Chains A and B, each alone.
Chain A
């Protein structure tokens, strides 16, 4: 298999040309537009983008979790452990979801069942996916809760989700996602609803778990600070597309898409230089109705020129493991289609 950079091992997950469209009364919403990326073993891939940029729909499309209609995954392949998830049978998918691929959602209350105890939900997952006995599953449940830092784990098994604080619920979610020893963990804004001191605890926990368990993680957020602290590589999404991809150091040291540059410069920091006036990005993101035939950032871009309105740029190589979908990137060579 051809891969972006020679020094990377073969990916655990490989997404090619993923396109998802929603049929709505106003017309087709092109929520995910030809998305390509790979996830390597043991890495944390950050996905950053603003509301509506397609982060959640990308992940849901990969796992075929979107109801159809209105969603239609129009094209693409999602290779994982020797098969294409988009072609897998429902039975295979059910085994993979919550098994080899674990996920955590933004709002734990939507994915934890309020009427069952936390222990029951953990045990069920273990028995269903790993065929554990009741006794073994109970023992493992306690270990899992201890691993994610829930004090008094044994006695907390009988507690219901609403009896935990927000941060504790998110830990329970992580325990459930990790229960079946997944090779890939997808975390969709798992700390957005939490206070910063609690978020810091969860980020630390994830860093430790990744080091100890070695799974690959996709971490979705709109917070560039969180990305800087946790990711190895980063995808920047805008209007349903990946507009830049880079190692985390390169993304912040040498942002190459004007959107990434603008985004980084608009966030005020708690230390260092304090600007008198914030850099702002005027205008707003495009509606995703109709296929784009220009750069989606063109109307808001301070470096836009004639070509940007006439043609949509592909991702072009900036350096090793670094590309951006912008005509300003020189030495253009397409990586998206490699």
Chain B
């Protein structure tokens, strides 16, 4: 191994450290700063080369914000994000311009993320034109390659987004994300808007592209079955924080944080006999507001296992077995 490759192998592609993203709340006639929405509150994780990190959790827990922060699409309040060892948070505009092509994003709503007045070819060519100096025919060639790679018929190059189905639109978005040969793609609920029978097509495509191009994914989803299928490791978020992080099989077989347990036990399974006999953990109460999280553990007001300490001290994310992290006082003495 050359020293450089050796370094690549030991260093993760992305390293997020104590990331905070707060959105200010302004109120009153003078729009005074009256508080913060703590969308992402002290989050740390890494993504290895060619790895898929699954990010799950319920609506509003901060998944999208965390993904956008890595691409610096939202202002970072505190913490560091390193991409290939370089800090994204403090990068200069020029530094960012160099880094940007290596990180791309695919969005939930394929309809809304494509400009309706641009042809498929010009949508896919847009990042190439912006970041690379290719001639006209080379650009066309590159667009056609990309269309092949995502399974879109080349003959459709001059059509407009509305002429495509949801699954095809998502393929257009994927082709655009691949245009600059990125190392990382943040996939934000890439299949949530698609029909069940189309979801598998798109996920298989992502898996194929990953193995042929050595891509890393941050795969954001609330579909725990799909995340189990595609992710290597999984982070579970609740109210702006990671409450558990582990290898995929370990997480699904041994969920340790009471929230992860409840989340997994709530997923309905396509098996009537199992559904009839299964033990469900039903949570009570609502998710608190991220502008006013409870004292102690964020999950304490809904946790079926909460005890006095949980209402007082915030639990830190720590290793409870090899490579398995959880933020819960139940593991304080283990």
Using a CB–CB cutoff of 8 Å, the interface residues on chain A facing chain B are: 50-51, 165-168, 195-197, 199-201, 203-204, 222-229, 248-249, 252, 262-264, 266-271, 274-275, 277-282, 284-285, 300
B116 within 8 Å of A by Cβ?
Answer: no
Bound Cα distance A222, B270 (Å): 12
Bound Cα distance A195, B203 (Å): 22
Bound Cα distance A200, B261 (Å): 13
Q: Which of B203, B222, B268, B276 contacts A278 (CB 8 A)?
A: B203
Evaluate contact between A280 and B204: CB separation under 8 angstroms: yes
Evaluate contact between B229 and A228: CB separation under 8 angstroms: no
Q: Which of B58, B165, B271 contacts A195 (CB 8 A)?
A: B58
Q: Which residue of B lies closest to A165 (CB)?
A: B286
B225 within 8 Å of A by Cβ?
Answer: yes
Evaluate contact between A222 and B196: CB separation under 8 angstroms: yes
A27 to chain B, nearest CB (A): 17
A334 to chain B, nearest CB (A): 27
Evaluate contact between B224 and A281: CB separation under 8 angstroms: no
CB contacts (< 8 Å) of A50 on chain B: these are 195-197
B310 to chain A, nearest CB (A): 18
Q: Which of B167, B222, B226, B266 contacts A284 (CB 8 A)?
A: B167
Label chain B's interface by main secondary structure: helix
CB contacts (< 8 Å) of A195 on chain B: these are 58-59, 222, 287
How big is the B interface, by class? 35 or more
Evaluate contact between B207 and A204: CB separation under 8 angstroms: no
Evaluate contact between B58 and A197: CB separation under 8 angstroms: yes
Bound Cα distance A199, B196 (Å): 19
Known: A203-B268, A267-B196, A270-B264. Is A278-B229 also a contact (CB below 8 A)?
yes
CB contacts (< 8 Å) of B282 on chain A: these are 197, 200-201, 204
Evaluate contact between B269 and A225: CB separation under 8 angstroms: yes
Evaluate contact between B196 and A225: CB separation under 8 angstroms: no
Cβ < 8 Å to A, chain B residues 246-262: 249, 252, 262
A7 to chain B, nearest CB (A): 19
CB contacts (< 8 Å) of A196 on chain B: these are 58, 222, 224, 263, 266-268
Bound Cα distance A322, B229 (Å): 32
Evaluate contact between A268 and B226: CB separation under 8 angstroms: yes
A145 to chain B, nearest CB (A): 16
Question: Given A201-B283, A281-B200, A284-B198, 18 more contacts at CB 8 Å?
Answer: A165-B287, A166-B59, A196-B268, A203-B268, A222-B195, A224-B196, A227-B270, A228-B269, A228-B272, A229-B276, A252-B271, A266-B196, A269-B228, A269-B270, A269-B271, A270-B224, A274-B249, A282-B201
B119 within 8 Å of A by Cβ?
Answer: no
Evaluate contact between B271 and A197: CB separation under 8 angstroms: no
Evaluate contact between A167 and B270: CB separation under 8 angstroms: no
B102 within 8 Å of A by Cβ?
Answer: no
Bound Cα distance A223, B244 (Å): 27
Known: A199-B266, A204-B282, A269-B225. Is A280-B197 also a contact (CB below 8 A)?
yes
Evaluate contact between A249 and B273: CB separation under 8 angstroms: yes
Known: A196-B222, A197-B266, A270-B267. Is A229-B200 also a contact (CB below 8 A)?
no
Evaluate contact between B165 and A284: CB separation under 8 angstroms: yes
CB contacts (< 8 Å) of B199 on chain A: these are 266
B280 within 8 Å of A by Cβ?
Answer: yes
CB contacts (< 8 Å) of B286 on chain A: these are 165, 167-168
Bound Cα distance A252, B273 (Å): 10
Evaluate contact between B268 and A225: CB separation under 8 angstroms: yes
Cβ < 8 Å to A, chain B residues 264-318: 264-276, 280, 282-284, 286-287
Bound Cα distance A197, B270 (Å): 17
A265 to chain B, nearest CB (A): 9
Bound Cα distance A268, B283 (Å): 24
Evaluate contact between B268 and A228: CB separation under 8 angstroms: yes
Bound Cα distance A222, B268 (Å): 12
B305 to chain A, nearest CB (A): 15
Q: Which of B264, B267, B280 contacts A204 (CB 8 A)?
A: B280
B167-205 vs A, CB cutoff 8 Å, 1 = contact: the mask equals 100000000000000000000000000011111110110
CB contacts (< 8 Å) of A280 on chain B: these are 197, 200-201, 204
CB contacts (< 8 Å) of B273 on chain A: these are 249
Evaluate contact between B266 and A200: CB separation under 8 angstroms: yes
